[in-house]
Each structure stands twice: as C-alpha cells, then as structure tokens.
Chain A
C-alpha cells in the first residue's frame, strides 16, 4: 500500500526453541534471559 512499508523480520532457525528451553523468565529467580 502506498506510503506503508511492511517491516520484514528475519527467519532464524532454532530461535523459537530457546523459549521452551528456558524456565520462568524472572529476574528475581535469576532466570531472566
């Protein structure tokens, strides 16, 4: 559409799996990555 550019995000293999590998994502628990 004129005046609008969709920002394409790169595809990175294996990035999603880091969600599953990490735990609670809590700074207080020291698991914040």
Chain B
C-alpha cells in the first residue's frame, strides 16, 4: 500500500465485496418476509425465528471451519490430491482478524506474502461466501415450515451452510477445484453450487420429515395450503431479486491482470478485467444483460404456465435466473432469456408432478425453483458451452455435457440430497426432527398466543373497570 494505484486496486476490491454483502443481506430479508407470508398465522414467530437464527449460527460456524474447507478441500481431499494448507483461513489465524498486512507473528506458518495479500481481502471475501451460505440454508428453511423443530433445522442449516455447500464450492466453484480440472465443470453464477445442492438438500429433509397435517387427502390428492399473506410473499421475492444483484456481482473477481504474474504470467502483456470465479475474463455488462433477460424469460413463461398466479410468476422469475446462471457469463442475452423460460416451466411442472406422485410437501416450491431449475441450468450449460475451456490455465478439461451432467448429480444428490437424508434420519431416530402432532395442529406459537390473549383480556378488564368507575 505504498503507492496510490496499488492502494486503489486493493481498496476497490475490498469495497466491491463489501457492497455485495450489503446487497446479499436483502436475500435473507426477502426469505424471512417470504416465509412469514407463506406460513399460517399461528406459526409466524417460530417461522421467523427459524430463519433469522440461520444468520448467527451459519456465520460462526463458517468462521470456525467453513472458510478453511473452501481452500483445503479443492483436491477432494484424496480425489486428485491431499488436503491443501490454508493457514490464512483457520479460526486461529491472525489473518481472521484486524490486520494491517505487515509481517506475520514470530513462529507463524504464514508468510509475508500471505499477510500482505489477505489482510484486507480476507474478511470481505469470507463474508461474500458466507452470504451464499445463508442463502443455501435459507432455501431449505422455506420448504420445511410449520412442522420441523427449529433445533433440528439449525443443525441442518449448519450442515449445508458451513459444510456441504462449501465443499461443493471448493470442488466446482474455485479456480483449481478438482471438478473444474477433471470434469471441466462450469457453473459461473451457482445454478448448482448453491441452488441445486440446496434443492436436493431440502428434498432429502422433506422425505424424512413428511407433509404438513392436512396437506394430502385420504386418497392422496394434495390440498392447496394458501399463503397467509400473498403480498408479503411477493415483496419477499422482490427483495430476493434485489439481493440477487449482489449475489451475481460477488461471483466475480472485480479486477485482475489476466496476463500478470499472479495469473497467466505472459511477459510484456497486460489485460485488466473482471473475471468469474474460474478466473475467466467477463464483464459486469455481460452478467447484467443476462441476469435481466433470464429473469424476464422466467417471469414471462411462469406467468403463462401458471395462468398469472402471483406466487408462481415471481418464483418463475427466480427459476429463470437460476436456470441460466451456470452459463450467464457467456450466453447471449436471448439465449439466457429462452433458457430462463425453460427453467421456469420445468420448475412449475416438476413441483406439481413430484407433489402428486411422491406426496412431497414442499411448502414454498424450493426444491423445484432451486433444485430442479438449478440442475437443469448446469446440464444446459454443458451443452451450450460445449468445448469452451473451463479455465484460463493449461491442462484443464474443457466444458462438456457429460462433465456438467456429472457435476449436477454431485451437487444435487451427493452433496445435497444424501447428506440431508442421513442427518434427517438420525434426527428423526432421536425424536428431534418434527414437532409434536398436537402442537403442529394448534400452531407453534400456541403459548405466545395464549399469553397474548390473556394480556389482551387483562387490558380489556382494566378498561371495563375504568369505565364502570367513571360511570361511562
């Protein structure tokens, strides 16, 4: 930081990620509002607190081990190599705190290069990834409302938010992850690494948790449990759209010399650009075009397919973005629009087919919008970007349909569905997964409501006494 240009580059990067975090906070606000709108009155407080407490629990665990996993697990470990040392990301590292970038402490395993590089970027980079972690957990939260025990959900939230999703990011959403190197896996804006895994995870939990009481008739046909407040649901989804801007921008590295020594190391050449997470050059313009066009494709298709249903039209907008996100760094905007439309139709159709066929009660369509549309997004990118290099570095597999299809299976099933199924089975076996039946019937907030009723009656009694005393 001894000259203005270096300082500008570093502090711009620091500020850039910080802004993405502020935007992404809105995703969580949106999810909380959305869930409260979707749940029934008698469950509101618990529904809100269930998702709110994702924030601290995933944050602290992401500090304790999630961040380290991202750097340490790029080789599997033991799929293509060993654990990778990441001393700047352990919870006891001096770089996980206020640091000015000078020499490391005596006896530290850190180098002077480590401290100079990570001192200003570590916290904001950690936070940008952390907000993705909240999103992954929050996606699951909506699917299981009104019957999961909050304690069980919070354990599951830590499993996906600070463990399984960050393993998938290490494998398939880092410049040197084994899936990128060996499969040519390409998922620039996280169709798979956030959405497919979270959808698969939600499905695994739902399978063990079961439907809400009253969701299915005796003959197995589903009843529609309408949102308590559809307007809150749509406001929540609007906020998620807004936060999505931060999500997209956080997937990029804002400025890097692609030919510089830290990257391709081409002598006498410079090319400063934003890159995606794989260090492939891209532009904010490209992703702005494609974000909006895929959102539009999703909204338009969902409006038609759902006959103008507000909930599904908004959800279709999300499914549109999610369906195109894998390749939204490279697609043409009209391709993004059409792919987005396909994602929305698939999510809508699959939701109701799975509900009828397998009696899965996904209260907010999370498995469909995130899981199926995310899976579809990865597979489509494999075809659309077939033959593109998956990395600027030599020796990596090219993007291919089979590489991305295998990647989609890993995201949805290996790191999403199966871990959720196993942990949910354990929690179920311990009697910790689902709230007691009687409480589910009357509502999780029964004691709050009883207390509120008693307090209201107490106030009414006081008013009656006052009125009697004054002769009114």
* A and B found bound together: no
